[in-house]
Structure 1
Amino acid sequence: MFPRQTKSTETGSEGIEQRWQVRCPSSSEGLHSTPGRSWASHRKDAGHHLTETTDFTAFGLSDLRLAAVEALGWTEPTPIQQRAIPLISTGRDVVGIARTGTGKTGAFMLPALEALKAGGGLQVLVLCPTRELAQQVCDDTRDLAKGSTFRAAVIYGGVAYGPQLDALKRGDEVVVATPGRLIDLQDRGKARLKGVRLLILDEADRMLDMGFRPQIEAVVRGLGKRPQTLLFSATMPNAVHALALRMTRDPAWVEASPSGTTAHGIVETAYSVRPDRKPDLLVHLLDQPGWDQVLVFTRTKVGADVLKSRLDRARISCDVIHGDRHMRHRSRAMERFTEGKVRVLVATDIAQRGLDIEGISHVVNYDVPLDPGDYVHRVGRTARAGATGEAVTFVTSADLGAFRTLEYELDRKLEKIHHPDFDFAGSVAMDRQDTSRKRSRTGRRGMGSKAGERLDPEELAALLGHATEEPAK
């Protein structure tokens, strides 16, 4: 575990560049070509690394770690844990494909904590795309480290530097960070990463989507000796595959969930709806039994704020998070949602990562996501830890192109649902007193005759029904 690279004959920063030259491309090289083997060839081997066990004791974990696992209520390892923990424990680089909610943090942090040296300073560095995910990973790490003297710190932007600088001075063994703030501290000479022996890139696909490649490269250049490197991603586009090949050395490829798939236990459905009726359709659905804790994704910040106002007027307890909200507000909103103090959380894609909340009954794609990867990450907020959930997508006629592409890329059709008891042709303001009394539901219900925007319902339904045809190139 935590193998250190043999010292280069080079010295100083030039030596550092030489050691990482083949592993971290320059900005001019790009990451969109895939050198060597393709992901398709790697994935043939990805399912072979499976330790068939239903007991965490099979991994040789310490009593402290087993006690922490038991306290968290983990009864048996998940597939990604079965595949990754033994490999990581041997010191091997690992590239893992795993959706959110599959026990990914435990897969890399359990063996990491087992290999830490008390008082050894910063040894494990985890890079995450968002503040929310970084905080979640740090919280999980602290839970797994209970009973030991190990400390974990979280570093991200939008908050005061003080506590983060204190953690770095103190020499916390694990640091979970977003790339931007970490580079800021590096440039100030406050973050010294020479002692890092394990580098973990979590949600690598999202980090590249968010343009963090230059920051990842800058962090790597500051590490000095080559650490053991782990890369986890829910999807494996060419850019991520190329990054994995360059950042790791002879990695084991493990796949707990095929790239681009959603979790087991998620019922995926779609509703055709006129744009001006979307708010009232959401209110109608929220009045149905079983819609207990609901996460709603919008495409824009303005759209999120407008929708929250509509739900407020409908007297539905809700909150909103997006990039324009102060970090303090976002943290408070997530806390209230987690504690069940609000039923509905309206969010932009900032929340598709980092929300690890059990009990989310429904995820609503209020706007069709333009990227299939975003869809996978959005709906992955429900059906976590073996639970079940429902993912609902609202589709207007303007969304048909994106919806066809989505189903084609997912290689499956979403079930089309109709609600005849919803008044699509009615006024914008619905009488929630009537709908809230209709709390009995027997199976799926259909849509009214005015469901389509600029299209007859038959035309819209026909287009939705053929959405898995290959989109035009």
Structure 2
Amino acid sequence: MSPTFEDLGLHKGVLSALDQVGYTAPTEIQADGIPPMLDGRDMVAQAPTGTGKTAAFGCLLAHETTPEEGTQALVLTPTRELARQVADEIESLCQVRGQRVLTIYGGVGYKPQIDGLERGSEIVVGTPGRIRDLIERGDFDASTCETVVLDEADRMLDMGFIEDVSWIVDHTRRDRQSLLFSATIPPGVEHLADEFCHQPANLAVGDTTKDEDRPEYLVRVGKRNRAWALERILETEQPDLAFVFCRTRHRTEKIAGLLDGHGYNAEPIQGGMSQNARERVMGRVREGDVDILVGTNVLARGIDVRRCELVVNYQPPRDPEDYIHRVGRTARMQDVGAAYTIATDEDTRAIVEIEGHTGASLTEIDVPETSQDDKITKIDDWEEKADPMGRVHFRIRGVTDSSRMDVFWYLVDNAGVSQADLGQVAEEDDGLIVKVRHDAAGRLQDHLHKNGVLGRDVDVSIATPE
């Protein structure tokens, strides 16, 4: 039988707070991780997004720290958004016992954070850069910290924070309890765990690759029709909140603006925004005023929103590990959700790498049909009509008495296409098949319709590649 929170030995004030927050039963990482943490053991836990890891170490901190006795615990996170959300969750677990939680991060003024430290906060949650800065300035004494938590350690490694993290940890108590949480455990995180933890309990919970309860679809289109496919997916799924992932900040802003202009409540969120702007967006999300968040990978790892029902990769990520974190934003903790990846022929390698990394094939489907009129119009995209070699096949009738080479050289000399653009010209029973690169297909079609071939009007159609 699964344990209850009461079975785990938590303080009655923490149990009361869990009840008020709405937690009914421990998740796997909470059931398996809280007991050894309460015993004082160090821990290295591999846990993907959505497993309840924040509440796991949050329960420990709410249980172990004592109100009005100074700073006793430090939690390091890679991003400002994550620091705020981790602090909010820990604060909710401390609401009965009364410990104070202070959030510290860059991009805002020092004074409120220094004032918070001077007033006293039992638990400090922050990003490595600002935490180190305050220690160096003498405004934060980390030597009183009895428990140190590294959250999203792999993300901190990716962002180049490990040197700062090691420096900060060296300024905490030597007999501290050390807890490391990470969605993945690459060699750099293993090295950090060896340096940070002493004879830790090791946990790996959940599936860090594919969630069988979360359908993961692949939709192939031409690159000019990604937005059309995105709109069809949104209209089909009708999510209360969707995350749309792009590769660049510029694309994030562009797609959010496009969706907003077509009647969706869409907002961009990416690392280049000011802290105030990002907090404004997240405030709107929490109020339910945003239907779609469009972001870069900061959206996959930097924020905590529980009710996301749909993830769409507008562009597949270049790193397969980022795919896992992106789709892990939906179907969290037994919620429903689906993930779609929109891909063009140029994305074939990325899809192969994702499937190889996750060990599962994405379910390839056509762009969904909807009963509504399209808000975003489909563009005539030659790439969608091309064969696997990227060539469009034109069927030309009315020149059967001309040689294939005459037609070939006529098109090179007159139709705005080069020898490299054209493939072979093949004979059919009632005409010719001309193969042309998809990026030159529009020029060729325009010429054929306006001027024909060799002074003759011709019938032109698109042939299905064999």
Distance between the aligned counterparts of 1:261 and 1:164, measured in 2? 38
The aligned counterpart of 1:173 is: 122
- Runs of 4+ residues deviating >4 angstroms: 447-455, 457-460
Answer yes or no: is the 8 Å Cα contact 2:146–2:177 preserved in 1: yes
Amino acid at match of 2:110: Y
Q: Deviations over 1:297-326 (max 9, x none)?
A: 111100101111211221221111111211
Q: The residue matched to 2:81 in structure 1 has which SS? A: helix
Cα distance, 1:63–1:84 mapped onto 2, change above 3 Å: same
Answer yes or no: is the 8 Å Cα contact 1:419–1:448 preserved in 2: no
Distance between the aligned counterparts of 1:400 and 1:82, measured in 2? 41
Amino acid at match of 1:401: R
**Are residues 1:456 and 2:387 paired?**
yes
Summarize the alignment of residues 356-375 of structure 1 with structure 2, pairs less than 5 Å apart.
Answer: 356-375=304-323
Higher RCO (Cα < 8 Å, 6 or more apart): 1
Q: Deviations over 1:34-66 (max 9, x none)?
A: xxxxxxxxxxxxxxxxxx633110011222111
**Are residues 1:187 and 2:136 paired?**
yes
The aligned counterpart of 1:199 is: 148
C-alpha displacement of 1:175: 0.5
Distance between the aligned counterparts of 1:253 and 1:247, measured in 2? 13
Distance between the aligned counterparts of 2:383 and 2:159, measured in 1? 34
Answer yes or no: is the 8 Å Cα contact 1:352–1:381 preserved in 2: yes
Distance between the aligned counterparts of 2:40 and 2:88, measured in 1? 24
Summarize the alignment of residues 363-402 of structure 1 with structure 2, pairs less than 5 Å apart.
Answer: 363-402=311-350
C-alpha displacement of 1:291: 2.9
Amino acid at match of 2:367: H
C-alpha displacement of 1:374: 1.2
Distance between the aligned counterparts of 1:291 and 1:197, measured in 2? 43
Cα distance, 1:277–1:158 mapped onto 2, change above 3 Å: same
Answer yes or no: is the 8 Å Cα contact 1:132–1:351 preserved in 2: no
Answer yes or no: is the 8 Å Cα contact 2:101–2:124 preserved in 1: yes
Q: Which of 155, 160, 175 is the matching residue for 1:211? A: 160
RMSD, matched Cα = 2.3
Q: Which of 254, 264, 284 is the matching residue for 1:316? A: 264
Answer yes or no: is the 8 Å Cα contact 2:105–2:126 preserved in 1: yes
Q: The residue matched to 1:333 in structure 2 has which SS? A: helix
Distance between the aligned counterparts of 1:229 and 1:82, measured in 2? 19
C-alpha displacement of 1:170: 1.7
Summarize the alignment of residues 458-473 of structure 1 with structure 2, pairs less than 5 Å apart.
Answer: none
The aligned counterpart of 1:299 is: 247
Summarize the alignment of residues 39-438 of structure 1 with structure 2, pairs less than 5 Å apart.
Answer: 53-258=2-207, 260-263=208-211, 265-419=213-367, 421=369, 434-435=373-374
Output the TM-score relative to the length of structure 2.
Answer: 0.79
Distance between the aligned counterparts of 1:84 and 1:433, measured in 2? 48
Structure 2: runs of 5 or more not aligned? 392-466
Q: Quick check: which has more Rg, 1 or 2?
A: 2
Distance between the aligned counterparts of 2:297 and 2:326, measured in 1? 8
C-alpha displacement of 1:270: 1.0
Query: Identity of counterpart residues, as a percentage?
Result: 39
C-alpha displacement of 1:355: 2.8
Q: The residue matched to 1:229 in structure 2 has which SS? A: strand
Structure 1: runs of 5 or more not aligned? 1-51, 423-431, 437-446, 461-473
Output the TM-score relative to the length of structure 1.
Answer: 0.78
Alignment length (residue pairs)? 389
Q: Deviations over 1:75-116 (max 9, x none)?
A: 110000011000000000110011111110111121222111
Cα distance, 1:452–1:192 mapped onto 2, change above 3 Å: same
C-alpha displacement of 1:292: 2.9
Moved more, 52-61 or 186-195: 52-61
Cα distance, 1:68–1:459 mapped onto 2, change above 3 Å: farther
